[in-house]
Structure formats: C-alpha cells, structure tokens
Amino acid sequence: MAYAHLRLEIRGRVAHLTLARPERGNALVLEMAEELSDAVGRLGDDSAVGAVLLAGEGPNFCLGGDVKTFATHGERVPEYLRPLATALHVAVSRLTRLDVPVVAAVQGAAAGAGMSLACGADFVIAADTARFTMAYTKIGLSPDGGSSYFLPRIVGMRRTIELMVTNRVLAAEEAREWGIVTRVVAAADLVREAQALAESLASGATIALRAAKRLVREGWNESLETQLEQETREIVDASRSADAHEGITAFVERRPPRFRGE
C-alpha cells in the first residue's frame, strides 16, 4: 500500500519502514500518525517478516509533532492533538508488541515523539552525530508516545524526570551510556550497520526470537514463579521447531546454523 508520509518496503525478510517528511524533519501530523499505525498493523499480520528497520528520511530521524501545524489550529489545538496522540499511541503499541525485532536507525535529531519512537524499538543504532531530547515542556506540552512508560524502565526515574523537565539534549554517546542507544556508529555507516543488524536478526531463529521478546515484554508485571513457568513453556514450545533442531545439530557439528524461521 502506498502512503503519503512514509514508505513501507519488504526486502527479503526485512520490512523497511521509513518516515518520509524530510522537508519537515519527519515531524508528525495526524495523517502521518494514522499511516504509521496502519503500516505497523500490516507488519504484525505478515508472518514472512523477520525484522523491522525503522528509519527517517533526510538529515533527522523525527522532530516529534509538527508544531507549526499545531499553531494553525489556534485555540482548537486540543481537538487536533487528541486524534493525533491516539493514532500515534496505537502505532507505538503495535510497534512495541511486534513479535519480531525492531531496529531503529537514528540520525540527526530524535525529539519529542521521535525519541519516544526510538525508545519503543528493540535496538537503536545511532549515528555519532545523533542527539536525543524530550522537548515537550519547552513548548508547554506534556510527554506522549509512550515516553513516560519507556524511559523510567530504560534510564530510571530521576534521569527520566531530568530529561522531561529540563529538556536536556543527549549526544549519541551519552544516550548509549544511559541505555537509550544500543550502538553508536559513524554517520556514514549508519544505514549499512542498521540494515546489517536487521538482516542478521531476520535470518535468525524467528520462533526463539519472538519468544524472547514476549518473555521480556510480559515479565515486567509477573512474579518470579509465574515468569519461570512461562520460560518453561516457551523453551519447550521452541524446542519443537525446525530451527531448534537445526541449531542444536549445527552446534554439535560445529558449523553455522541455517535457520528457516520454522
């Protein structure tokens, strides 16, 4: 399906999802948030997809919401923000709950909802020139995009409040030290490194990767005993897969496994 504000391409087993409003720093408007929600929903239904690569076209990953568009609504901006936030939050929920790994490739600025989107990914590969900031309170708004959920779990309560209240800007390396970024690479290598990671994940043991994501995602709110029982169920289920048999055989034979996602 063709979208006006983003691109969705399936290459092999990797879904390339690219925010495509580069002239506005990939800032979100209502139509774009709705398209993002639809696209991620489609990926959740596609069993052939083994990984997702989330990127932004142009010099910035995503500048958050399109504040200039907010301004055009004047006193009616609440009527615009409600459906925008709702569509964005459906997209974030669907993205975070995808069974397959999600890799975000971040260049330039990841601000506001752009930082939230990055935090919702499983892996964040950042250019060494990238920077991260919440930015919401700077324009008199409170955070959205799941940042109040993700950030305390990633960086802790005090650092989250600092980021949200002071709008501190984190350079790529500092964001890595805080746990927001997985790996920092040279800006010229960003696309190649992020794509290589996504392709590597997509060629892995898909059933095992999906189980690992489920265990971590659902384990936040479970007791130790419940989580241990769920781990037992998942590893037993995974052991029935063709990939598990291949992985065990390859280990014994001292050769790289040839997973098929089955």
Percentage of the chain modeled with pLDDT above 90: 84
Picking from 120, 112, 35, 116, the residue whose alpha carbon sits closest to that of residue 70 is: 112
> Rg of the chain's alpha carbons, rounded to an integer?
19
| pLDDT, tens digit (0-9, with 9 covering 90-100), for 157-202 | 999 999 999 999 999 999 999 999 999 999 999 999 999 999 999 9
Same domain, 143 and 185: yes
Same domain, 225 and 145: no
List strands edge to edge, sheet with 123-127: 6-11, 14-19, 51-56, 102-106, 123-127, 183-185
Same domain, 215 and 98: no
Q: Does residue 260 form part of some domain?
A: no
Q: Does residue 183 form part of some domain?
A: yes
73, 89, 243, 245: the catalytic one is 89
Q: Does residue 249 form part of some domain?
A: yes
Same domain, 83 and 131: yes
Rounded Cα–Cα distance for residues 21 and 79 (Å) = 23
Same domain, 27 and 154: yes
For the chain, how many structural domains are there in total? 2
Q: Does residue 218 form part of some domain?
A: yes
Q: pTM, whole model, 2 decimals? A: 0.92
Q: Does residue 127 form part of some domain?
A: yes
Tell me which residue range forms the domain holding 218.
206-253
Rounded Cα–Cα distance for residues 234 and 228 (Å) = 10
Question: Partners of 18 in the beta sheet?
Answer: 7, 55
Rounded Cα–Cα distance for residues 190 and 156 (Å) = 28
The sign of the CA dihedral 235, 236, 238, 244 is positive
Same domain, 229 and 198: no
Rounded Cα–Cα distance for residues 133 and 111 (Å) = 5
Active site residue 144: yes
Same domain, 155 and 45: yes
Residue with the larger pLDDT of the pair 260 and 252: 252
Same domain, 87 and 142: yes
| pLDDT, tens digit (0-9, with 9 covering 90-100), for 7-54 | 999 999 999 999 999 999 999 999 999 999 999 999 999 988 999 999
66, 99, 122, 144: the catalytic one is 144
